[in-house]
């Protein structure tokens, strides 16, 4: 699903929002600002580092007079030069008109002293992530430098906006404006409402962001705000899979790319951000939540940092980056090209009525297989392969007469077929967009079942990857945990389902909105994986969100029923 395709949130799913936020809720669609507050004419940016200069660049391009401040004169000069060089580069590459670049450069001014920001209607702080430093900056700005109507915005990604605002003379004029790095390229802006943030301050911040060309979402204050919070399991669950030896680093990443459509796997992403940075964020989340099990830092990350393997910046993290020959990415071989479908010859029996079961039936039929369901298969010849894709009410369907592959959603293969001869598999809709399906086997799995499963999935155009046994295997565990975290965030009023999806699309380049994806998978499928993990692991990190469970219990399973996190056409 594209960013413009996420429908509005259905009644009864959105919880109450923070004070002043309801009228500012955005949908995950492109839309112009429709009146209310004009964007600020003069914007100050405090901090001329990479992030601060990037924010100042989009501010001056938005039409605002932009004052860049840094207490270190060399840093200020470097920041101004960086912005003007980026504007020139934009013209050279045809992304920016020469006239617009010249006008933006003319609107950019140095502000050597903090007092030079006195005329600003909005000051965006981009100082280092130290609470006392930011509090001191906001205390000074609000104590006679800027007007009482000036909005002070922090670009923090890991500190509470409320804690920073407490030092300001008027905390109701303090908001978060969380830009994603690099600001000139990343389209998302999170406007964060602290406990005291006024609606007027939030409106001005949103107007400024939209003038900068950003897709603005509103989030409540809390660890990671909305987007980074919802994305926590992407890396943490990958580390848990590695800890349990379900799959190796490169295989986990390959599965996420080929089966899930992610541009980068979780370990590639952790190396890019910095393993030490990710570990610090994990520790912050865990501390701020007083030990929430879902956010427990990984011992693997601790050891990796202790060994000095910090990622790309140190030349080695979860991958080795010392070989710089050849086209990027040099740290891994390229993914294989998608297989062409076709060549099916025989009978495939498919048990279950889930979206995945129906997608497999369509793909098999297109590949030339004859399709039958359990109630129709008794009088037919022996099947080439039986695919058991039933869970919940479909779990007890009698399936026999040929080699079997069981969908490991509601449990591991060991739990679903103890001592049996079947192999396990797992995949997530939309199946047509995946180029890989995961397989697993037990001690008694037969070679006939393994080879039949490999051949079947090859005929529908899918590569296969063998991983160790677990509910959801690799991609299912990661994606279902991200869905679960997003459901917790929505239920707690951190943001709407629409804003979650917009944030994951525009801020993190997800292949699709995570909650719209959950609706496509089927919320009963998602819940089955989580419950299977909890049943077999007995770890609180896998407890399902009450909102997710409530939707399933009420029959709102997603696209298949016409409503889940979002409404859908029947």
The answer to whether the beta carbons of residues 467 and 424 sit under 8 Å apart is no
Tokens 């050279």 -> residue: 92
Exposed/middle/buried for 195, CB within 10 Å: 0-12, 13-18, 19+?
middle
Note whether residue 331 is domain-resident: yes
Q: Are residues 74 and 195 in the same domain?
A: yes
CATH of residue 365: 3.40.50.720
| 3-state secondary structure (DSSP) of residue 235 | helix
Of 474, 470, 454, 450, which is closest to residue 462 (Cα–Cα)? 454
Q: Out of 432, 466, 500, pick the residue that ends a domain.
A: 466
Q: Tokens 């003319």 sit at which residue?
A: 106
228 an active-site residue?
Answer: yes
Residue 534's domain is classified under what CATH number? 1.10.1040.50
**In a domain? residue 526:** yes
Q: Are strands 174-179 and 65-69 parallel, antiparallel or unpaired?
A: unpaired
Q: Is position 105 annotated as part of the catalytic site? A: no
Burial category of 376 from C-beta neighbours within 10 Å (exposed 0-12, middle 13-18, buried 19 and up):
exposed
- Same domain, residue pair 325 and 364: no
Residue with tokens 């112009």: 32
Q: How many domains does the chain have?
A: 3
Q: Are 152 and 179 in contact (CB under 8 A)?
A: no
Asked if 384 and 331 sit in the same domain, the reply is: no
Pairing assessment for the beta strands 122-125 and 42-46 based on DSSP bridges = parallel
Tell me what pLDDT residue 398 has. Answer: 54
118 is catalytic: no
Residues 54 and 189 in one domain: yes
Q: Which residue has the tokens 């419950």?
A: 531
Rounded to whole angstroms, the Cα distance separating 155 from 320 reads 32
Catalytic residue among 69, 158, 178, 354: 178
Residue 26 included in any domain: yes
Whole-prediction pTM: 0.89
553, part of any domain: yes
Q: Does one domain contain both 392 and 514? A: no
Task: Mark whether 49 and 155 lie in a shared domain.
Answer: yes
Q: How far apart are CA 268 and CA 318, in angstroms?
A: 8
Position 381 scores a pLDDT of 78
Residues 308 and 207 in one domain: no
Q: Which of 62, 142, 198, 228 is labelled catalytic?
A: 228
Query: Given this model, what pLDDT does residue 330 score?
Result: 79
Q: Is the dihedral of CA 504, 498, 493, 58 positive or negative?
A: positive
190 catalytically annotated? yes
Instruction: Write down which residue in 417, 433, 466 finishes a domain.
Output: 466
Same domain assignment for residues 72 and 177: yes
Do the domain assignments include residue 206?
A: yes
| Domain end call among 466, 494, 519 | 466
Is residue 441 domain-resident?
yes
Predicted pLDDT of residue 5: 32
Q: 257: which 2 tokens?
A: 């790319």
Indicate if 459 and 481 belong to the same structural domain.
no
Of 448, 385, 563, 569, which is closest to residue 10 (Cα–Cα)? 563
Asked if the structure places residue 1 within a domain, the reply is no
Note down the domain range covering 251. Answer: 233-335+475-570
Distance, CA of 130 to CA of 158 (rounded, Å): 10
pLDDT, one tens digit for every residue, the chain (570 residues): 333 333 333 333 333 333 333 334 333 233 344 457 999 999 999 999 999 999 999 999 999 999 999 999 999 999 999 999 999 999 999 999 999 999 999 999 999 999 999 999 999 999 999 999 999 999 999 999 999 999 999 999 989 999 999 999 999 999 999 999 899 999 999 999 999 999 999 999 999 999 999 999 999 999 999 999 999 999 999 999 999 999 999 999 999 999 999 999 999 999 999 999 999 999 999 999 999 999 999 999 999 999 999 999 999 999 999 887 776 787 888 999 989 999 999 999 999 999 999 999 999 999 999 999 887 756 667 899 999 998 655 444 556 678 999 999 999 999 999 999 999 999 999 999 999 999 999 999 999 999 999 999 999 999 999 999 999 999 999 999 999 999 999 999 999 999 999 999 999 999 999 999 999 999 999 999 999 999 999 999 999 999 999 999 999 999 999 999 999 986
Which of 157, 282, 298, 354 is the catalytic position?
157
Residue 186, in any domain of the structure: yes
How many Cβ atoms sit within 10 Å of the Cβ of residue 274? 18
Answer yes or no: do 439 and 530 share one domain: no
- What are the start-end ranges of the H helices in 346-444? 355-366, 374-377, 413-416
Give residue 399's pLDDT: 62
Distance, in Å, from the CA atom of 256 to the CA atom of 465, rounded to the nearest integer, reads: 11
Q: What is the chain's percent helix, strand, coil content, to nearest 5? A: 45, 15, 45
Q: Do 288 and 411 belong to one domain?
A: no
Residues 358 and 428 in one domain: yes
């Amino acid at each position: 699903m594209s960013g413009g395709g996420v429908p509005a949130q259905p009644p009864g799913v959105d919880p109450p929002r923070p004070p002043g936020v309801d009228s500012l809720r955005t949908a995950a669609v492109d839309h112009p600002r429709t009146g209310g507050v004009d964007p600020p004419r003069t914007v100050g940016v405090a901090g001329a580092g990479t992030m601060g200069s990037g924010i100042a660049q989009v501010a001056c391009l938005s039409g605002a007079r932009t004052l860049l401040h840094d207490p270190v004169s060399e840093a200020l000069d470097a920041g101004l030069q960086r912005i003007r060089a980026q504007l020139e580069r934009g013209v050279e590459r045809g992304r920016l008109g020469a006239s617009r670049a010249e006008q933006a450069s003319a609107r950019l001014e140095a502000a050597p002293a903090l007092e030079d920001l006195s005329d600003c209607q909005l000051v965006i702080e981009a100082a280092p992530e130290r609470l006392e430093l930011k509090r001191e900056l906001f205390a000074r700005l609000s104590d006679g430098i800027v007007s009482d109507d000036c909005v002070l915005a922090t670009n923090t990604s890991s500190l509470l906006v409320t804690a920073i605002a407490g030092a300001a003379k008027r905390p109701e004029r303090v908001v978060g404006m969380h830009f994603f790095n690099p600001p000139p390229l990343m389209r998302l802006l999170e406007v964060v409402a602290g406990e005291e943030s006024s609606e007027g301050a939030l409106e001005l911040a949103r107007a400024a962001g939209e003038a900068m060309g950003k897709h603005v979402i509103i989030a409540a204050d809390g660890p990671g705000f909305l987007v980074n919070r919802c994305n926590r399991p992407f890396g943490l669950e990958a580390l848990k899979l590695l800890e349990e030896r379900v799959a190796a680093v490169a295989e986990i990443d390959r599965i996420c790319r080929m089966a899930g459509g992610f541009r980068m796997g979780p370990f590639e992403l952790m190396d890019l951000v910095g393993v030490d940075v990710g570990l610090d964020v994990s520790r912050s989340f865990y501390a701020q939540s007083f030990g929430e099990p879902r956010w427990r830092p990984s011992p693997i990350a601790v050891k990796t940092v202790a060994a000095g393997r910090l990622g790309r910046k140190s030349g080695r993290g979860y991958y080795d980056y010392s070989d710089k020959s050849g086209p990027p990415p040099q740290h891994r071989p390229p993914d294989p090209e998608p297989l062409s479908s076709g060549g099916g010859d025989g009978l495939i029996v498919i048990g279950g009525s889930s979206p995945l079961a129906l997608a497999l039936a369509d793909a098999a039929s297109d590949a030339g297989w004859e399709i039958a369901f359990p109630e129709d298969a008794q009088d037919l010849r022996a099947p080439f392969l039986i695919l058991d894709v039933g869970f919940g009410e479909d779990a007890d369907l009698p399936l026999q007469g040929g080699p079997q592959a069981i969908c490991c959603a509601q449990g591991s293969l060991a739990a679903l077929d103890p001592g049996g001869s079947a192999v396990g598999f797992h995949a997530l809709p939309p199946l047509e967009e995946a180029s890989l399906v995961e397989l697993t086997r037990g001690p008694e799995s037969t070679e006939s079942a393994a080879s039949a499963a490999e051949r079947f999935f090859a005929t529908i155009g899918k590569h296969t990857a063998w991983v160790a046994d677990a509910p959801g295997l690799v991609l299912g565990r990661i994606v279902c945990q991200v869905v679960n975290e997003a459901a917790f965030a929505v239920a707690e009023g951190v943001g709407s389902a629409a804003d979650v999806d917009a944030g994951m699309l525009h801020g993190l380049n997800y292949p699709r909105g995570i909650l719209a994806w959950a609706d496509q998978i089927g919320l009963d499928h998602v819940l089955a994986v989580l419950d299977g993990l909890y049943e077999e692991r007995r770890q609180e990190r896998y407890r399902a969100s009450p909102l997710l469970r409530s939707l399933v219990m009420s029959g709102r399973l997603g696209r298949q029923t016409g409503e889940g996190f979002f409404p859908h056409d029947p």
